[in-house]
A and B are shown apart, each in its own frame.
Chain A
């Protein structure tokens, strides 16, 4: 049906007036002449749902989207923080209601059952006792199994109006009749088969949460709770012999917004004081608004970390003592501003040295730099053009050149060292023989040493182009 406007959502008043989803807009107008309509915005709805799912992280670290209008929260092992599933559900309902959202909630053993009960259940709110999905699902229509619309319609056409009737059918004829998918969906809803949810964030078991009786907003308090939540998580990391390399701290305010902060460590760690210290300078940027009531901390890149004992002579290993410094610098300046240069197997000067993380990288397999090839101490990012170069053709070093408006007369020179482009890296058609640089190390009358090169091959009648690529000390 193209070009037909249908209702995609109705509010309670409209529903009471007999309007329903999928109804043609013209029919609806006929039923209700003073109907107010607004164009549907599926993208905005999806965005709002994603935001809601981020907000729900305060209830469970594993939240999955169920478009167009649902969310799955994996509350396994978190309900005790609210004193049970009922408490969790009451809190969630109260907070959503405060934000003007109406909702239907269901807690069940399987995502499929929870979805079915939330969408088709009798009550707007339901907690299915463990193992009693079948009884609760039986009265629901087959569409509650999230089947393809055609399959659901066919099942209903055959007079099967309740899931209970489907459950009673022997499995083989059911699969033959309505497709394997129907059987799978049924199994998933009843917990006989596994259903994989795509969590918005991968579920993270390294998660700690602190809730406060009164919202906090004083900077000192925020520093303290950052340490407290780190201590909770680090205690767990320590018992399991693990350490994290990235930590995500989130302050959840009374306004329902999360204020995320992230730090990284050069080496996996679990020292709460150190982690809190790295967060401390970033806390200033957090606007607590009307107050913070929940703080969460998640560790990522968790890897085994052996408990370390300080050596008796109190001499720490270099990596151990350096790691806090690197962490401070990386978190303050950014990861691309702290590095260690490692050799790269390339004879092109600017490619022969590459930045690597300052700590925790194995030595590269490229051979070390050859000290017998003189290389400048300062290599310019882009070679600088030399003016007024006097040099004998075709391959003598320059006798004199101008750089930065100063004339340098060359007293000593050595070279050339011919360095060509890495032709094997590009396509064969792009290979050219004239992409070469002839490098000379030259020293001027004052003793300043330069690394200059002539671009390309010598061609008669064309002036050579000279560049300065770096200076030696």
Chain B
């Protein structure tokens, strides 16, 4: 009896997934190569052919350095496969910095949009272009309509979108009313750990919170760039390395914490 139910559930889940993909085939996943991280996703890796949202807090809302670095490393294997497009509203992205982290910046096409709507339109256009595998866009907010349009553009050719929430010129926060993103990541820089006996800074680290994940469950991890600032980049492995899982303190909604008094 239970075997029958399980089989039926699997079949139903596959049906729902097929419906969600809009009749298109699965675009595949990009595994991180670490079970602790890949287990957060049902399919065992970052789903491709969808768009992912990266948010941050504090001064990073304006500079958007940590989310950009993290997203670039997450997408580096994709960028090696095809073309990558980065849509900015303030052109302060420094290509040598990306190269140092291990992102192939020579292949990156940068576009400076004049306003928010234009940035989203360019992102949509780039996502639907053959040969483009990853599109980064720095925008203030993505509302439900824009999110849905991005999703359709992603499905057109199986490109993956990385939407970095940034207010490049400050100003008031524009809260998005909802989101159609496959995942939402909150990225904050974390103190690095120099190797014993070494001076200076260690590999860049980030406190990564997967806040929302369609077809998966949220989690929090401490991650670092596996081969930053070196010639000896190991191309086989994912350029992000999981250092340790973090406590789920920030994921309040699941287990509301109540203090006495």
Contact = CB atoms under 8 A, between A and B. Distances in A.
Interface of A: 316, 318, 321-322, 324-326, 328-329, 333, 337-343, 349, 352-353, 355, 358, 363, 368-369, 371-381, 404, 406, 411-415, 441, 443, 445-449, 470-473
A373 B201 contact: no
Given A377-B101, A378-B65, A337 B94 contact: no
A467 to B, nearest CB: 15
Q: Could you tell me the dominant secondary structure of chain A's interface residues?
A: mixed
B69 A325 contact: no
A449 B109 contact: no
A358 B51 CA distance: 24
Interface residues of B, number: 62
Residue of A404, A413, A471 with most chain B CB atoms under a 10 A cut-off: A471
Interface in B106-135: 106-114, 118, 122, 125-126, 129-132
A322 B130 CA distance: 7
Contacts of B1: none
Interface stretch (B10-18, B20-28, B29-37, B184-192): B184-192
Contact of A374 (B64, B100, B130, B233): B100
Contacts of B41: none
B191 A411 contact: yes
Contacts of B118: 333
B102 interface: yes
A115 to B, nearest CB: 51
B129 A353 contact: no
Contacts of B200: 412-415, 441
B199 interface: yes
Given A322-B129, A325-B132, A337-B111, A379 B59 contact: no
Interface of B: 58-60, 63-70, 72, 82-83, 92-102, 105-114, 118, 122, 125-126, 129-132, 188-192, 194, 199-202, 204-207, 228-231, 233
Nearest to B88: A337
Nearest to B71: A473
A333 B112 CA distance: 8
Contact of B97 (A322, A333, A472): A472
B35 to A, nearest CB: 26
B191 A371 contact: no
5 interchain residue pairs of minimum CB distance: A473-B69, A414-B200, A341-B95, A379-B94, A377-B97
A322 B83 contact: yes
A372 B59 contact: no
Given A377-B97, A378-B64, A472-B69, 12 more contacts: A322-B131, A340-B107, A349-B94, A371-B102, A377-B72, A414-B199, A443-B191, A443-B192, A448-B189, A449-B65, A449-B192, A473-B101
B229 A372 contact: yes
